[in-house]
Amino acid sequence: GAVVSQHPSRVICKSGTSVKIECRSLDFQATTMFWYRQFPKQSLMLMATSNEGSKATYEQGVEKDKFLINHASLTLSTLTVTSAHPEDSSFYICSASLPSEGYTFGSGTRLTVV
């Protein structure tokens, strides 16, 4: 089946640094990817919709200058958390919509900012 590979699975970074998370579609072309954030014991909140070759669409309340999304090819979307702070510590997960009316998810990235 369609697989989205997400890396890294875990990352610890210092406050003020930037972190890049990658999501690759391994055996299909993903024109649209979605980025979610999940705080402990909470739901998955949609942050943005990433479209290949165009600017991402951010959900209300999500800072586009802080969470940079790049979808430069049909198989790769990246999320960069810039100038990370402890409150950005969370579980980030990407998803791609499939022609078969479903979605496939990456395995998630657990970000800890110290």
Partner 1 sequence: AQKVTQAQTEISVVEKEDVTLDCVYETRDTTYYLFWYKQPPSGELVFLIRRNSFDEQNEISGRYSWNFQKSTSSFNFTITASQVVDSAVYFCALSDRGATNKLIFGTGTLLAVQP
Nearest approach in angstroms of CB 45 to partner 1 is 8
Phi-psi region of 75 (alpha: psi -120 to 50; beta: other; left: phi over 0): alpha
Nearer to partner 1, 89 or 97 (CB): 97
Characterize 20-34 residue by residue with b for buried, 16 or more Cβ atoms within 10 angstroms of its Cβ, and e for exposed. ebbbbbeeeebeebb
Quote the least distance from Cβ 49 to partner 1, whole Å.
7
d(CA 5, CA 45): 20
In terms of CB distance, is 35 or 75 closer to partner 1?
35
Q: Residue 87 or 101: which CB sits closer to partner 1?
A: 101
Interface residues with partner 1 (CB under 8 A) are 32, 34, 36, 38, 41-46, 49, 91, 93, 95, 97, 101-103, 105, 107-108, 110
